[in-house]
Structure 1
Amino acid sequence: MIVLALWTFGEGMIEVLEVKMWQERCRSWDTATHLDNVGLFQNGDVVIGGLINFHNLPTAQDLTFTSLPDLKPCVNFQGGPLRWAQAIVFAVEEINQDPFLLPGLRLGYQIMDSCSRHPFSLRGALAMISGGNRSCDKTGPVRIIIGEGSSTQSIILSRTLSPLHVPVISYQATCSCLSNRREYPNFFRTIPSDVYQARAMAHLAKLFGWTWVGAVGADNDYGRLAVQVFLEETQGSNICLAFFETLLRERLAQDVARAASTIEGSLARVILVFAWHGDVEQLLLELLRRNITDRQFLASEAWSTSTSLLSKPHLYTLTRGILGVAIRSAPIPRFKEHLTQVHPSRYPGNVLLKELWEETFGCSLALNTSGPPTNNLPLCNGSESLEGIQNTFTDTSNLRVTYNVYLAVYSAAHAFHSLLNCTAQTSSSSNKTSHCSTTQEINLAQLLEHLNKVQFTTKLGESFYFQEGGIPAVYDLVNWQDALDGTLRCVTVGRMEGSTLTISESAVVWTASANRVPVSVCSEECPPGTRKATKKGQAVCCFDCLPCAEGEISNSTGSTKCDTCPPEFWSNSFRTACVPRDIEFLSFTDTMGITLTTVAVSGVVTTVAVAVVFLYNRQTPIVKANNSELSFMLLLSIKFCFLCSLVFVGRPSLWSCRVQQAAFGITFVLCLSCILVKTIVVLAVFCSAKPGSTALMKWFGPRQQRGSVFLFTCIQVIICAIWLSLSPPSPHHNSGLQGSKVILECEVGSVVGFALVLGYIGLLAAICLLLAFFARKLPDNFNEAKFITFSMLIFCAVWIAFVPAYVSSPGKYSVAVEIFAILASSYGLLVCIFAPKCYIILVRPENNTKKFIMGERLRGQ
């Protein structure tokens, strides 16, 4: 019926019906047809799709609910992304002219605006792969999409297109999550992962000692995951994140105000910023309004080379000195000429060129298409040219993202070349025709496989291949410095390849016109001599500096612990070094040693003098009456007691330690033995005067007296011999008493042996005291029992007080206490026993007669 109708009504009616049928076929699947005209389009045998954010802000949403919701036109045109789109156009033209790459096959392109929002990018991607809204222009469905610039949009695109096996090659999405080939098998990118960018910033923080840094990031996968990777890279290196603020474009004013307040109140002077340049500009303006100009910014690749920010003189006080990680720069031969030849006449009716012309020349192109309204500008006369124009669009001095886009097109072309089994004409096979398999044979799943295996050499002679969907990491480290014309320029000061970072520190200009590396720490590093002590409830980067304890040092800045000095060393006053300890002992040269030596020598002299007096008057009654033999033996033992105290003075040695304790024990036992025997003799004499006791003195004759003294002394000698043979005293370096000094002292060896020596002396002293106490009321002039009692009381009191004093005295003072006890007890014996006799001999010689002594005896009876 339709064929007959067409034949009947003639050729004119056929044309009308064809138009109506074409219109039906061109019907859009949504009402946002105004978005279909924003882009660049060229048909071909194989069409490459592109999603580029020519605009970065959608218009405000209509919330009146009086019309159907739809995507509105985007605003805020950007010249840089238009240069990226031209990189696709330029690369496609190069490939179409290349007889070796895709010979006999013509590439086309369909580039649409993503508006930096996922609804726009997703709509554009679905339209392109379905051949959708632009089927009226007879462009076929795209087989591969180059985009998106944002990580979040790329994640959405990859997840959406993965079931359809449509490859997505991003030129700027850096989220490390996109390296997961299981979740994003169709995703590729010509830019390194954020892992390497964050690693570069972590290296910079470690290099310059920034331990307290802040972070500001876009409120999406790009910003949040980049900061997360930075934290992972700095884990265990004492670098802490002071704060993390996010910026969402829909609530940018509130987020910027909050982030600025946080920056203002933080001690962090270094701020990491992972955001787009437009958002960063608003943050910088807010900081400038608050007069916060002393922060050092570390810029991510998203804005580290932003010409828009570099061209804002009012921001120079903040942006001068910015250090950033940038996508590596590479030239594209003849691309500058291509850009300057761009003209509306080559792309009639193109909305993007209309906006570029309005921005560049201040005139409006007359278009017959719908687009953003004109700004009441005069019409362009058509003679305008980009030759000699310097702006964001024509700037090819540092092609970074642009070069990534260029590489993405070539990687797609090589994948098509491999998939379609293309052969090229060569000189050796001139009869062989250039051809590729038909485009109907393109299988998207196979295209993904070939894209994974793409490997070619770029025009710069570099090898290109995909590694986990990305490319090997190569970054430039850039610094914003003053140019000769008073503007700011982006200067390369270093490079990072893989995990290796190199930077020329002397070439870096720091922020706020400082000529030194900024300091960004929560707490200043602890100086030598102190250690870090983390503040409770705060990050490890916030700490107090505590001085090292005595005997401990820290000889480096930022020590977390103090090291203990070796036993023979001690810390200096600054706690920064171990110095040899002073060796301390009771020497003959110090004041205490001289004093004790003088007292001991004086005791020896006094004892000798008493002995001389007794020897000279040995025939006098008072000497005879007091048992002259025992008296001389006692004086000899007292002299030995004084002399043995000198052995304790001086540097302890193996022999001095053994001699001093043995001499002390034996001489005092000898002394006490003489006193004990004298006391026993006195008691025996008085007891023999009683009836029936005349034979008592036979048992205490001179021989028995000498034998008793010898016996009592031999017991001590045996104790000392056993002690010295089993566990003798020895020199000991005591480092635990006084920190900065080593006390050189004699260690007693066997405590049991030392206790037996002292115990035996105490036993003899107690017996002497007891016997003398019983004989205290005997006649004074005849016996010395009363004086022996006094001497024994003094002796016992001295040695009872000696024990706690000796134990509690540190170092050489314990030796001094022992010497003092020896001297005090020796003087007590000498004075109490011999002073009264010497007084009678020297001062009252008239009483030194037998009659006087016998008279006293008779009165005593």
Structure 2
Amino acid sequence: MLFLVVMVSFHLVKQSDTCSSLPQLSLDGDYIVGGLFQLHEKYGGTGPATDTENRKPEVLQCHRFKFSSASYQQIQVMRFAIEEINNSTLLLPGVSLGYEIFDYCSDLLSYGAALEFLTQKGRGAIPVWNGTNYRPKVISVTGPFGSSQTISVAPLYMSEMIPMVTHGATSVQLSSKNRFPSFFRTIPSDKYQVESIVRILQQFNWNWVAFIGGDNDYSRDALTVFQDKIRPANICLAYQDTIPQNQSLIGRLFNNIAMFNVQVIVVFANVEFVIPFIQKAIDLSVKEKIWIASETWSMNQELIKKSQIERIGTVLGVTVQRHKDLRGFDEFINNTVKSRHENACTDMDLKERCGQICSDCNSTSAQTIIGEDPTYSFVIYSAVYAVAHALHNVLRCGTGNCANSEIIAYPYMVSELHLL
């Protein structure tokens, strides 16, 4: 075990020493907020990176997958919130927040980024635990978005009580404080979303339905809750299935839906599963269905713009309650686009190992970023502010200057005392 820890530490030091990150993905500060966002998604890409069945064994990298402008917008919301806090004279006066943001495209490819947040502040290595406290690189972690990704990576941070404040992980599993003592979220549990969907079905007397999900905890946990809720509501689950990752097999689901004569389809899945599923429905000329959308895709801009999507029927969806637009965000984006520059890491071999490579980040227009679905903007903004207020209390800033405080804040202080 000691050998493994030392090897991990060495790898992280070498990576951080040899590959500079995009300036818009890192900022130094007195306390660092970590960010895990899915900048690149597996669905919709091209080439060997997305051919999971036939490709030759090789090391895959996030930047070979499809770029997500929606996730890029969410990163900008996090940056915007931190800049706003740093400019405030009331919240954390005299203390600067920084950030370190990594692309979390999959558990396998992104564990190095997750481990980076555990490195000891100022030393760049994960120490062997000796019974004493150490200051990890980050004071908290925002993200990742998905429930399965969060459940997978959370144990790394729970052991040190590093607060994870997520904006999208809605699985009911994450409500267990025994398993996830320093996990928090600014979005409701799926329990409430499923209850809303069942009420929609009851309202329109739709009692013969299909439930389609993805192969992850988000969908599986929702199905369990859904089955519990429909029994007393006299709703029959006529058909249930999982969207296969092999897109050539998706047509089988529609054959089964037709065979069971189902007109109402609840699609409770992440957008990377839903987009090829809905595209197949369009290709097969599936018509006059009622689609109930979960919050992950109900307002997705890529789906709304798809050609002939209006032919598949009527789509009703559940979404996160939107708040007013973030004042000053559009101006922040315009300034970001004007001032950004290319990644300093130019060696192609090093770029393959760099956890923050994003060539599309430098070419995405301000209009594209601003025009993305803002559903998760406020919950990301709230996640950052929740950590900032907790840190403000830990440092006993009051209305004075935090810089005069002799207190050194550790992540467990933020979790145990002020985010509960």
Conserved 8 A contact 2:62-2:103: no
Change beyond 3 A, Cα 1:216–1:120: same
Cα deviation code 1:123-162 (max 9, x no counterpart)? 21211221599959xxx81121000100011111222321
Conserved 8 A contact 2:212-2:241: yes
Letter in 1 for 2:89: P
The correspondence of residues 377-392 of structure 1 with structure 2, limited to 5 A, is 386=365, 389=367, 391=368
Conserved 8 A contact 1:121-1:153: no
Whole-Å Cα distance in 2 between the matches of residues 206 and 36 of structure 1? 55
Whole-Å Cα distance in 1 between the matches of residues 18 and 300 of structure 2? 29
Partner of residue 340, structure 2: 347
The correspondence of residues 376-415 of structure 1 with structure 2, limited to 5 A, is 386=365, 389=367, 391=368, 393-395=369-371, 399-415=374-390
Partner of residue 266, structure 1: 260
1:128 aligns with 2:107: no
> How far is 1:44 from its partner?
0.3
Match of 1:310 among 293, 304, 315: 304
Whole-Å Cα distance in 2 between the matches of residues 104 and 33 of structure 1? 29
1:413 match: secondary structure: helix
Conserved 8 A contact 1:50-1:109: yes
Change beyond 3 A, Cα 1:385–1:175: closer
Letter in 2 for 1:338: F
> How far is 1:29 from its partner?
5.6
Conserved 8 A contact 2:288-2:314: no
Change beyond 3 A, Cα 1:142–1:369: farther
Partner of residue 167, structure 1: 163
Cα deviation code 1:244-269 (max 9, x no counterpart)? 111243x3432x22322222222221
> How far is 1:316 from its partner?
2.3
Conserved 8 A contact 2:95-2:402: no
Partner of residue 413, structure 2: 446
1:242 aligns with 2:232: no
Conserved 8 A contact 2:25-2:99: yes
Q: How many residues align?
A: 385
1:321 aligns with 2:314: yes
What TM-score, normalized by structure 2, do the two folds share? 0.82
Whole-Å Cα distance in 1 between the matches of residues 255 and 115 of structure 2? 42
Whole-Å Cα distance in 1 between the matches of residues 327 and 256 of structure 2? 46
Whole-Å Cα distance in 1 between the matches of residues 180 and 300 of structure 2? 29
The correspondence of residues 767-846 of structure 1 with structure 2, limited to 5 A, is none
Whole-Å Cα distance in 2 between the matches of residues 447 and 132 of structure 1? 17
Match of 1:92 among 70, 74, 82: 82
Partner of residue 281, structure 2: 287
Change beyond 3 A, Cα 1:205–1:161: same
Conserved 8 A contact 2:30-2:96: yes
Match of 2:70 among 71, 74, 80: 80
Whole-Å Cα distance in 2 between the matches of residues 317 and 81 of structure 1? 28
Letter in 1 for 2:103: D
Conserved 8 A contact 1:35-1:73: no
Change beyond 3 A, Cα 1:237–1:48: same
> How far is 1:280 from its partner?
1.5
1:87 match: secondary structure: helix
Conserved 8 A contact 1:32-1:71: no
> How far is 1:350 from its partner?
3.9
Conserved 8 A contact 1:27-1:133: no
The correspondence of residues 172-191 of structure 1 with structure 2, limited to 5 A, is 172-191=168-187
> How far is 1:47 from its partner?
0.2
1:291 match: secondary structure: coil
Change beyond 3 A, Cα 1:150–1:33: farther
Conserved 8 A contact 2:73-2:370: yes
1:245 match: secondary structure: strand
Cα deviation code 1:9-32 (max 9, x no counterpart)? xxxxxxxxxxxxxxxx99646779
Conserved 8 A contact 2:386-2:419: no
Match of 2:108 among 71, 96, 119: 119
Conserved 8 A contact 1:103-1:423: no
> How far is 1:278 from its partner?
3.4
Letter in 1 for 2:96: R
Whole-Å Cα distance in 2 between the matches of residues 214 and 88 of structure 1? 37
1:151 aligns with 2:157: no
Match of 1:421 among 396, 410, 416: 396
2:92 match: secondary structure: coil
Unaligned runs of 5+ in 2: 1-8, 126-135, 353-359
Conserved 8 A contact 1:421-1:436: no
Whole-Å Cα distance in 2 between the matches of residues 350 and 253 of structure 1? 37
Cα deviation code 1:537-578 (max 9, x no counterpart)? xxxxxxxxxxxxxxxxxxxxxxxxxxxxxxxxxxxxxxxxxx
> How far is 1:119 from its partner?
2.2
> How far is 1:274 from its partner?
1.1
2:100 match: secondary structure: strand
> How far is 1:165 from its partner?
1.2
The structure that is helix-richer by fraction is: 1
What TM-score, normalized by structure 1, do the two folds share? 0.42
1:216 match: secondary structure: strand
Higher relative contact order (CA 8 A, sep 6+): 2
Whole-Å Cα distance in 2 between the matches of residues 444 and 341 of structure 1? 32
Conserved 8 A contact 1:50-1:110: yes
Partner of residue 103, structure 1: 93
> How far is 1:288 from its partner?
2.4
Conserved 8 A contact 2:69-2:364: no
Conserved 8 A contact 1:423-1:436: no
Partner of residue 253, structure 1: 248
Conserved 8 A contact 1:95-1:101: yes
> How far is 1:196 from its partner?
0.5
Whole-Å Cα distance in 1 between the matches of residues 384 and 285 of structure 2? 45
Conserved 8 A contact 1:260-1:283: no
Conserved 8 A contact 1:125-1:145: no
Conserved 8 A contact 1:103-1:436: no
Whole-Å Cα distance in 2 between the matches of residues 175 and 348 of structure 1? 38
Whole-Å Cα distance in 1 between the matches of residues 283 and 193 of structure 2? 30
Whole-Å Cα distance in 2 between the matches of residues 408 and 123 of structure 1? 23
Question: What is the aligned-residue identity percentage?
Answer: 27
1:145 match: secondary structure: strand
> How far is 1:207 from its partner?
0.8
Whole-Å Cα distance in 1 between the matches of residues 273 and 365 of structure 2? 29
1:342 match: secondary structure: helix
2:65 match: secondary structure: strand
Change beyond 3 A, Cα 1:310–1:438: farther
The correspondence of residues 383-782 of structure 1 with structure 2, limited to 5 A, is 386=365, 389=367, 391=368, 393-395=369-371, 399-425=374-400, 433=401, 435=403, 437-438=405-406, 441-453=408-420
The correspondence of residues 176-255 of structure 1 with structure 2, limited to 5 A, is 176-249=172-245, 251-254=246-249
Change beyond 3 A, Cα 1:102–1:72: closer
Cα deviation code 1:589-639 (max 9, x no counterpart)? xxxxxxxxxxxxxxxxxxxxxxxxxxxxxxxxxxxxxxxxxxxxxxxxxxx
Change beyond 3 A, Cα 1:350–1:308: farther
2:322 match: secondary structure: coil
Whole-Å Cα distance in 1 between the matches of residues 244 and 283 of structure 2? 20
Whole-Å Cα distance in 1 between the matches of residues 299 and 165 of structure 2? 22
Whole-Å Cα distance in 1 between the matches of residues 242 and 302 of structure 2? 22
